[in-house]
């Protein structure tokens, strides 16, 4: 197997961390009243009672699906799978677009930093040497 670029490993680790966060938040939304509720005292950007609504439950399940996608992306990045590269590109592009929309609606420094971070990852992942690592691997 070709040598994996070190940055790909870093992106895979970040995807794994994001997957774990999605899993924890998803479980804490779907099953309120667990010790995981402590995370809602640290940062809660949802409206009061959101976790106890149908929309909250749907969001919780969406996060669990996100967990599976991110977990696969992390694994696939390490293995050099082209589909994982595409998934990661789409995730960072969507994140950057979301941050741009947030910036339009007053997201401030969070929106700007999110756009910059997404752009850095997209730039890195589209470099010829990095793309070559993912060629001809399904």
By percentage, how much of the chain surpasses pLDDT 70? 91
The reported pLDDT for the residue numbered 80 is: 94
Q: Is the pLDDT score of 136 beyond 80?
A: no
Q: Which pLDDT tens digit goes with each residue over 95-119? A: 999 999 988 888 788 789 999 999 9
Buried b / exposed e over 78-117, threshold 16 CB at 10 Å, is: bebbeebbebbeebbeebbeebeebbeeebeeebeebbee
User: What pTM did the predictor assign?
Assistant: 0.84
Task: List the Cα angle 107/109/110 in 5-degree steps.
Answer: 60
pLDDT band for position 137 (50/70/90)? low
> CA-to-CA distance for 36 and 32, rounded, in angstroms?
8
67 contacts 125 by C-beta, under 8 angstroms: no
pLDDT for 48? 67
Stretch 50-58: mean pLDDT: 81
pLDDT, average across residues 84-96: 96
> 5 Cβ partners below 8 Å, 6+ apart?
129, 130, 133
11 φ, ψ to 5°?
Answer: -60, -40
CA–CA distance from 33 to each of 36, 55, 65, 104 (Å)?
8, 18, 22, 36
What's the pLDDT band for 52 if we cut at 50, 70, 90? confident
Closest CA to 31 of 20, 23, 42: 23
């Amino acid at each position: 197997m070709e040598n994996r670029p070190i940055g790909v490993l870093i992106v895979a680790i970040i995807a794994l961390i994001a997957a774990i966060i999605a899993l924890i938040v998803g479980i804490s939304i779907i099953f309120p009243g667990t010790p995981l509720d402590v995370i809602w005292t640290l940062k809660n950007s949802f409206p009061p009672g959101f976790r106890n609504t149908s929309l909250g439950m749907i969001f919780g399940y969406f996060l669990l699906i996100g967990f599976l996608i991110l977990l696969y992306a992390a694994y696939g990045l390490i293995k050099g799978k082209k589909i994982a590269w595409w998934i990661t590109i789409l995730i960072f592009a969507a994140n950057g677009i979301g941050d741009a929309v947030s910036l339009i609606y007053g997201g401030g420094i969070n929106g700007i930093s999110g756009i910059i971070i997404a752009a850095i990852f997209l730039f890195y992942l589209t470099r010829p040497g990095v793309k070559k690592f993912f060629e001809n691997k399904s």
